[in-house]
Amino acid sequence: MPKNPQQASGLVEMLVRSLVDDQDSVSVVTKEEHSGIVIEVTVAQEETGKVIGRQGRIIKAIRTLARATTDDSVEVEVLG
């Protein structure tokens, strides 16, 4: 059974909302490109550090979880 890319998007949104203080500033857009799925996460400028984490550890973990939820190639980008 193929895994749904919308599951990855929903998971990323839930994780990011739990990390930031201003949950209303979180926006998640899923785009399908030739190389796979791109999930663009937009948060308030001052909250990007919370999503990225020290040395990128948090965003790496989010990317790993997103990739585990779908059969397609998934990339998660954080926009401030």
Residue 26 has pLDDT above 70, yes or no: yes
> Cα–Cα distance between 46 and 39 in angstroms, integer?
20
pTM tops 0.75, yes or no: yes
Residues 39 and 29: beta-carbon distance below 8 Å: yes
Domain 5-79 class, CATH top level: alpha beta
pLDDT, position 6: 84
Going across the sheet that includes 36-42, the strands are: 27-33, 36-42, 74-79
Question: Any idea where the domains of the chain sit in the sequence?
Answer: 5-79
> Cα–Cα distance between 35 and 33 in angstroms, integer?
5
pLDDT, position 35: 85
Phi, psi of 15 (to 5 degrees): -65, -45
Measured in residues, the chain has a length of 80
pLDDT, position 1: 43
